[in-house]
Chains A and B, each alone.
Chain A
Amino acid sequence: MSIHKNCYFLLILVLNIYALVSGDGVNVTASDSVDTLTQSSPYSPAAAVVLVNSPVFRKPDVDSIFSLNLLSSFPEDEEISVYCSDLLHIFGQRYVTYVNCSVNSARPVKVCQNCYSSYGSLTEIYLKISSDEVVTGNESCRDSILRNDRLMLVYLLYNNLEDIWGKSDCAYCVTKGFHSLTNDTLYFLSSVNQTLTCFEKYKEGNHTELCKSCKNPYRGLNELYSRMETNKTMCIDIEDVMNVTRKLWSKEYNCSFPREETVPVIAVSSFMLFLPIIFYLSSFLHSEQKKRKLIHPKRARSYNTLMNIQDKLS
Chain B
Amino acid sequence: MANITKKVSWSSRADESGATAEGTPLLNGSEQPRPSRQLSRDGIFQVGRLSTVDLEEEMTSEEESLRGRPKEIPHNEKLLSLKFESLDYDNIENQLFLEEERRMSYMGFRCLEISRWVVCGLIGFLTGLIACFIDIAVEELAGIKYRVVKENIEKFTEVGGLSISLILWAVLNSAIVMMGAILVAFFEPIAAGSGIPQIKCYLNGVKIPRVVRLKTLVVKVCGVICSVVGGLAVGKEGPMIHSGAVVAAGVSQGRSTSLKRDFKIFEYFRRDTEKRDFVSAGAAAGVSAAFGAPVGGVLFSLEEGASFWNQMLTWRIFFASMISTFTLNFFLSIYDNKPGDLSNPGLINFGRFESDSVAYNLYEIPLFIAMGAFGGLLGALFNKLNYWLTIFRIRYVHRPCLQVMEAMLVAAVTAAVSFTMIYFSNDCQPLGAENKEKYPLQLFCADGEYNSMATIFFNTPEISVRSLFHTQAGTYNPLTLGLFTITYFFLACWTYGLAVSAGVFIPALLIGAAWGRLFGILLASITPNGSIWADPGKYALIGAAAQLGGVVRMTLSLTVIMVEATGNVTYGLPIMLVLMTAKIVGDYFVEGLYDIHIKLQSVPFLHWDAPATSHWLTAREVMSAPVTCLNRIEKVGTIVDILSNTSTNHNGFPVVMQGADSDEPSKLCGLILRSQLIVLLKHKVFSIHVSQDERECMMDLTEFMNATPYTVPLETSLPRVFKLFRALGLRHLVVADDVNRVVGLVTRKDLARYHLGRHGLEELQLAQT
Contact = CB atoms under 8 A, between A and B. Distances in A.
Interface in B32-61: 41, 44, 47-48, 51-52, 54-57
Interface string B709-734: 00000000000000000000000000
Contacts of B629: none
A287 B166 contact: no
Nearest to A284: B396
Given A257-B158, A296-B51, A276 B448 contact: no
Interface in B405-462: 405-406, 409-410, 412-413, 415-417, 419-420, 423, 443-448
A273 B413 contact: yes
A301 B617 CA distance: 13
B695 interface: no
Contacts, number: 172
B163 A261 contact: yes
B396 A265 contact: no
Contacts of A294: 48, 70-73, 765-767
B196 interface: no
A296 B731 CA distance: 20
B391 to A, nearest CB: 10
A61 B44 CA distance: 111
A205 interface: no
A279 B744 contact: no
B162 A298 contact: no
B465 interface: no
Interface stretch (B15-23, B538-546, B620-628): B620-628
Interface in B633-665: none
B100 to A, nearest CB: 36
B625 A299 contact: yes
A241 to B, nearest CB: 12
A275 B415 CA distance: 13
B339 interface: no
Contacts of A246: 446-448
B413 A289 contact: no
B166 A302 contact: no
Interface stretch (A48-56, A91-99, A120-128, A305-313): A305-313
Contacts of A243: 448
Given A296-B52, A298-B626, A309-B761, A276 B74 contact: no
A291 B402 CA distance: 17
B743 interface: yes
A269 interface: yes
Given A250-B447, A287-B397, A298-B624, A293 B44 contact: yes
Interface string B167-178: 100100000000
B413 A268 contact: no
Contact of A300 (B167, B443, B744, B767): B744
A183 B160 CA distance: 37
A290 B393 CA distance: 10
B377 interface: no
Interface in B589-634: 616, 620-621, 623-626
B163 A276 contact: no
A268 B621 CA distance: 61
Contacts of A147: none
Interface string A249-290: 111000011111110111111001101100110011001011
Nearest to B445: A256
Nearest to A312: B616
Interface string B387-401: 000001011111100
A302 B444 contact: no
Contact of A257 (B55, B157, B166, B409): B157
Given A246-B447, A256-B444, A300 B402 contact: no
A7 interface: no
B399 A287 contact: yes
Given A256-B447, A279-B405, A289 B71 contact: no
Given A256-B445, A302-B52, A289 B395 contact: yes
Contacts of A269: 166, 416-417, 419-420
A298 B766 CA distance: 11
Contacts of A262: 423
B131 interface: no
Given A275-B412, A302-B57, A290 B396 contact: yes
B760 interface: yes
Nearest to B747: A297
A33 interface: no
A295 to B, nearest CB: 4
Contacts of B766: 294-297
A67 interface: no
B763 A309 contact: yes
B232 to A, nearest CB: 14
B768 interface: yes
B366 interface: no
Nearest to B602: A292
Given A265-B420, A295-B766, A305-B763, A279 B406 contact: yes
A297 B624 contact: yes
Contacts of A301: 620-621
Contacts of B166: 265, 268-269
Contacts of B221: none
Given A246-B447, A297-B51, A302-B57, A279 B409 contact: yes
A39 interface: no
B683 interface: no
Contacts of B410: 276
Most central of B412, B623, B762 by chain A CB within 10 Å:
B412
Nearest to B764: A305
Nearest to A273: B413
B447 A292 contact: no
A136 interface: no
A205 B399 CA distance: 66
Contacts of B396: 280, 283-284, 287, 289-290
B75 interface: yes
Interface in B7-21: none
Nearest to A267: B163
A267 B163 CA distance: 9
Contacts of A266: 420
A244 B388 CA distance: 54
Contact of A260 (B52, B160, B616, B744): B160
Contacts of A40: none
B340 interface: no
Contacts of A264: 162-163
Nearest to B398: A290
Given A275-B412, A276-B410, A302-B57, A265 B423 contact: yes
Nearest to A301: B621
A222 interface: yes
Most central of B396, B410, B623, B763 by chain A CB within 10 Å:
B396
B163 A268 contact: yes
Most central of A246, A269, A287, A313 by chain B CB within 10 Å:
A269
17 contacts: A249-B446, A257-B157, A259-B423, A261-B161, A265-B166, A265-B423, A269-B419, A272-B170, A276-B406, A276-B413, A289-B395, A293-B71, A294-B48, A295-B44, A298-B624, A299-B623, A305-B763
Interface of B: 41, 44, 47-48, 51-52, 54-57, 63, 70-75, 79, 82, 157-158, 160-163, 166-167, 170, 392, 394-399, 402, 405-406, 409-410, 412-413, 415-417, 419-420, 423, 443-448, 616, 620-621, 623-626, 743-744, 749-750, 760-763, 765-769
Given A247-B448, A293-B70, 20 more contacts: A222-B447, A257-B157, A257-B443, A257-B444, A261-B160, A261-B162, A266-B420, A272-B413, A283-B402, A292-B75, A292-B767, A293-B71, A293-B72, A296-B52, A299-B55, A299-B624, A300-B55, A300-B621, A301-B620, A312-B616
Interface of A: 222, 242-243, 246-247, 249-251, 256-262, 264-269, 272-273, 275-276, 279-280, 283-284, 287, 289-306, 308-309, 312-313
5 tightest A-B CB contacts, nearest first:
A250-B446, A246-B447, A264-B163, A300-B625, A291-B72
